[in-house]
Amino acid sequence: MKIVILDGYTENPGDLSWQGLETLGKLTVYDRTSLTDRSEVISRIRDAEIVFTNKTPIDRESINSSPNLKYIGVLATGYNIVDVGAARERGIPVCNIPTYGTAAVGQFAIGLLLEICHHIGHHSKAVNDGRWESCPDWCFWDYPLIELAEKAMGIIGFGRIGQTTGRIARALGMDVIAFDEQKTESGEKIARYVSLDELLAESDVVVLHCPLFPSTQGIVNKDSIAKMKDGVIIINNSRGPLVVEQDLADALNNGKVYAAGLDVVSSEPIKGDNPLLSAKNCIITPHISWAPKESRQRLMNIAVENLKSFLGGQPVNVVNGVE
């Protein structure tokens, strides 16, 4: 059985092992495959029975040009890069990895918030640059330092990741409120559920942990920002298109939003003309919330188990209805 991984480097830049998949077939790992050259995708998967991808698109033509293809595994949670309809027509299950990064993504959301509150990286560099040594005072700080205790965190999207972030926020002494269409018993133990407008009005920190649906695309925009407190902090390490980026940049520059911490943007990798690159008090990281080694190992393990389940005739984590 021929197994092909189209873009293995992001998941495994060398600190993990592919052994789990190597035991299941003849494995070929490409570090990268063109995101735009369909012919390269087709040439690499044409003879494969099993294909894994992270962000390399597998479209209808690629699927239909691969007569031996039996299974498509996505090395991520999002699967919009695969034409799931074309795969369904061929009876090919598409399987994703739904829960590997919950702890890591919640931790990273809080990390972005703490960096905004203390600018630790900036002040560490200032010390190394000699500014503390030459300081006439006992200490110094270049930004307002923010204590989070007793402030309100509003989390939009209160599933597994949202609840993880909420638990950490409560440990910091924050009051946690949440908006989600589905209320859960576990969520009610962590947060007070409110309407979206109530959340926007009451929150000192707004955190996005909702999936990208038509109903949530652009949920942070000039109108929703206008409903927020002056000086609000916004955190997004969920999906970039949840934010209308020009509207957020304008709000940062005019001071309505004090700061933003973002691990995602609308088009990735980020484009040089993204207005948030020049916005005030905006921290942007390169979509790495999911990437601790522990999280990537969990992803690897689940990918292997997904394939084993398929080979055993009982596929799991199927996103296109093919059983």
Q: Which residues are catalytic?
A: 239, 268, 287
Tokens coding 109: 């959301």
Q: How many angstroms separate the CA atoms of 71 and 304, rounded?
A: 13
* 3-state SS record for the chain: CEEEECCCCCCCCCCCCCHHHHCCCEEEECCCCCCCCHHHHHHHHCCCCEEEECCCCECHHHHHCCCCCCEEEECCCCCCCECHHHHHHCCCCEECCCCCCHHHHHHHHHHHHHHHHHCHHHHHHHHHCCCCCCCCCCCCCCCCCCCCCCCEEEEECCCHHHHHHHHHHHHCCCEEEEECCCCCHHHHCCCEECCHHHHHHHCCEEEECCCCCCCCCCCECHHHHHCCCCCEEEEECCCHHHECHHHHHHHHHHCCEEEEEECCCCCCCCCCCCHHHHCCCEEECCCCCCCCHHHHHHHHHHHHHHHHHHHCCCCCCECCCCC
Give me the residue label for tokens 């092992």: 17
